[in-house]
Amino acid sequence: MATATDFVYDFTQGSKDMKDLLGGKGANLAEMTRLGLPVPPGFTITTEACRAYLANGKEPAELRVQVTAALRHLEDAVDRRLGDRHDPLLVSVRSGAKFSMPGMMETVLNIGLNDASVVGLAEAAGSERFAWDSYRRLVQMFGKTVMGVDGDRFAETLDKAKAAKGVTSDVDLDVDDLRVLVDTYKQILRDETGRDFPQHPREQLDLAIRAVFDSWNTDRARLYRRRERIPHDLGTAVNICTMVFGNLGETSGTGVAFTRDPATGTPGAYGDYLSNAQGEDVVAGIRNTLSLDDLRDLQPEAHTELMQVMRRLETHYRDLCDIEFTIERGKLWMLQTRVGKRTAAAAFRIASQLVDEHLITEDEALERVTGAQLAQLMFPQFDVAADRRLLVKGMAASPGAAVGRAVFDSATAVEWAARGEQVLLIRKETNPDDLEGMIAATGILTSRGGKTSHAAVVARGMGKTCVCGAEELDVDVAAKICRTADLVIRQGDLLSIDGSTGEIFLGEVPVVPSPVVTYLENGLDAALGDADEDTAALISAVDRLLAHADDVRRLRVRANADTAEDAERARHLGAEGIGLTRTEHMFLGDRRVLIERVILSEGPERQEALDALLPLQREDFLHLLEAMDGLPVTIRLLDPPLHEFLPNYTELSVRVAVAHAEGRHEAKDLSLLAAVERLHESNPMLGLRGVRLGLVVPGLFGLQVRAITEAAVERVKAGGNPLVEIMVPLVGSVMELHLVADETDGIVHEISRREGVNLHIPIGTMIELPRAALTAHRIAEVAEFFSFGTNDLTQTTWGFSRDDVEAEFFAAYLEKGVFTVSPFETLDAAGVGRLVEIAATEGRATRPDLKLGVCGEHGGDPESVHFFHRAGLDYVSCSPFRVPVARLEAGRAAIASAGVISDTR
């Protein structure tokens, strides 16, 4: 038996549970060997050997000795010698990391062929053409993979040979053509590298092993790992496997198969096959493939055995299996199996099917699907078969497909939408004043900003398609145009944007609506009404797994909603309350002048503005409480950076200067400018906002508390059951909360006594400052609940300006490995998460019944939901569109905490 210090394991020594050491491919080859399936003999060099090589720049001293021992054992098992002149043993050298990285690392086939052994192979196989075809493949792959020659040099030479022969397929080249190709390939190697193709078989093997190790750190492999969030320090295993040949004539071939359709989840074997070919031919697409049904007609016995093996593997792995196989003169050989990658739709269907077939439990079915996959199913998508002209590409900020006419300001978007036009709102960047236009638009496109910019956050909250940071677009709002390097887009021109890819297309691209959203918003019966068989199966699978997630989850799921319409939609999507109502959006438009007066005025003028706002605010809250009757509604008191509710300082300064130059004296503007100058801030996000504004501006928070309380009273009198909660933003000191709570309690008590209605309105706070988290034991003396505002908590913990850093240096941080993902997308568990854990633990030490939630964007992020479950929070709150995602992931988190869910990348 192999020991823990061995760098080499025979296929007979491993199992599927050894992926850390043997990589996915090696572990599964060992598992198939253990099952008695027809696997060519071989051995695996471990990931430990790769890590040692990468760390030291050379192989461990023991590795060469261990490879020699394993190779001799292999030679004895097959009674052939590597590269022998008579019936030579040939091997393949393939990469195989723990997590599948298809096409990212290297493979070399036919190691052991040289000028002498090619003759022996021809004699043993009875086919000179086969032997020389195998030799030219080795020189080509070895030259590209091991010696670093541009692969196009070989491909162009092959194309010229076919053209000279007057044929289009490799198989139409005869043995003389292939001999010439081998010589030409060797000359290319000599010209490009100054070295001859190595003739010693062991030198070929050693160089190929080293090339696979090196391929772990190629640019494409590192980029793939960053995208898939695979750690860079795992290394790859190397699999040395006896060659079996699919290019030995018409009774030979190679193929790739799946135990179910990986695109749709439809039951039944699915795959591609090529006669007289080697494995890379299928992937390269050099010839049109045949189906598995065609294989049944060509080789019924091999097909029958393949179907039996596939069924056995799916039963053994209890999941969709992806299989590579070769048939050598009628004999089936299995070269690889793994749990197959699949589309989002296939994931849900297959998980449900396997439950019905009693291969997995419903808990395990939740392991097989993710919130990210559900999100993919919810967004409309462009028809990929349609003609499309790509204009530019930006950042995929909010998924979906949107088509509309370009407009460049909010008012035009509202006006055109009102007359029935589909519009895309194009801005350099958006701000709260653009909200009406964003609501009216089918999609939003900005030339600046990132995934946590205003445009992105608001768009995701509304379920709107959004592309941000399209820097190749020069947006000129005044001229109502945007330019690319060679094109001008004018207001009214038709565009299509893909929020899942960041692509922007000229003209209209047809979209395919999502039936999953129809189901989520209208119920199962409505969605199944006109659905075809595949769609009905998908919707039923989603319904089943979401229902099970709801049954097993501990975390409740609320929504962030600012309007009654948002609240109603969230409730349809399964929200169990509102975790965050932002009240600042309620003061835009016609009300902005009133809030300006509240902030800038004093005495009677301020009170008049407050009195005018009270019935408007009360009406806002009344509609919200009606929509969410019987469910908790957490309303955050006003929390804007101050500059958002003041006149623009630059515009006001220009206006005053122009009036002065023209000899006019605008007393009102001069007074206003003086007030704005007095309140001007260098960093508004850390200035007079949140609780600070409420304490400094008399009556502001009192207005909102009064409106909330009166709305709740009205609902009670109408027979409703309002469960409203008041949340104080940006608290850093318990004294701040004491002051607001005292004022709030007084107003609630006054109105309750006056109206004869007994109300209890809990008062809590957002934890969005590190000091709040670190003094949570004090703040919990007053707060009845904490809601973690993880957007600002991330910003203040990292010292980031959220609106700037993504565009400025996040790409470099991701490239250099500082981040694996933006901390504004997925919670930084080690830093920000630590503050959440401290606040949760110490807050509950003071107040054991303290309710804990999160209302930042992280509340709908799948990975973050798992963290919040582990941290003991009671609920997450997210945008309405992400509620189903959070429900699913909360269920998965509950199962994961019981030790069921594993990493299935």
User: How much is the CA Rg of the chain, to the nearest whole Å?
Assistant: 33
Q: Of 757, 777, 752, 784, nearest to 849 (Cα)?
A: 784
Residue tagged active-site, from 241, 855, 858, 878: 855
How far apart are alpha carbons 886 and 602 in whole angstroms? 45
Q: 74 near 89, Cβ under 8 Å?
A: yes
Residues 6+ apart with CB under 8 A from 384: none
Neighbour-count burial for 536-558, b at 16+ CB within 10 Å, e otherwise: bbbbbbbbbbbebbeebbebbbb
Describe the chain by its helix, strand, coil percentages, rounded to 5: 50, 15, 30
Neighbour-count burial for 803-813, b at 16+ CB within 10 Å, e otherwise: bebbbeebeeb
Helices then strands (H, E): number in the chain?
37, 31
Q: Of 34, 741, 72, nearest to 337 (Cα)?
A: 34
Residue tagged active-site, from 50, 241, 303, 454: 454
Q: 457 near 795, Cβ under 8 Å?
A: no
Residues 6+ apart with CB under 8 A from 92: 107, 108, 109, 110, 111, 239, 240, 241, 243
Residues 6+ apart with CB under 8 A from 558: 575, 576, 577, 578, 579, 580, 632, 634, 853, 855, 875, 876, 877, 878
Is 482 assigned a catalytic role?
no
How far apart are alpha carbons 1 and 18 in whole angstroms? 14
Is 855 assigned a catalytic role?
yes
Q: 697 near 743, Cβ under 8 Å?
A: no
How far apart are alpha carbons 746 and 726 in whole angstroms? 14
Neighbours of 362 (CB within 10 A): 18
CA angle 254–256–262, rounded 5-degree value: 165
Neighbours of 751 (CB within 10 A): 18
* Token reading at 192: 């490009």
Q: 690 near 729, Cβ under 8 Å?
A: yes
How far apart are alpha carbons 113 and 106 in whole angstroms? 19
Dihedral pair phi/psi, residue 739, rounded to 5°:
-65, -45
How far apart are alpha carbons 72 and 41 in whole angstroms? 12
Q: Of 726, 695, 732, 690, nearest to 711 (Cα)?
A: 726
* Token reading at 414: 């509202």
Q: 471 near 492, Cβ under 8 Å?
A: no
How far apart are alpha carbons 63 and 60 in whole angstroms? 5
Q: Of 600, 596, 576, 578, nearest to 587 (Cα)?
A: 596
Q: Which amino acid is at 470?
A: A
How far apart are alpha carbons 528 and 113 in whole angstroms? 59
How far apart are alpha carbons 130 and 247 in whole angstroms? 6
Instruction: Name the burial class of residue 439, with classes exposed (0-12), middle (13-18) and buried (19+) by CB atoms within 10 angstroms of its CB.
Output: middle
Length of the chain: 905
* Token reading at 675: 């007030």
> Alpha helix (H) ranges present in 419-522?
435-440, 454-462, 515-522
How far apart are alpha carbons 684 and 303 in whole angstroms? 70
For 657-762, list the strands marked E by DSSP: 723-728
Q: 581 near 635, Cβ under 8 Å?
A: yes
Token pair 């190679």 in the structure block, residue: 254
Residues marked active site are found at 454, 855
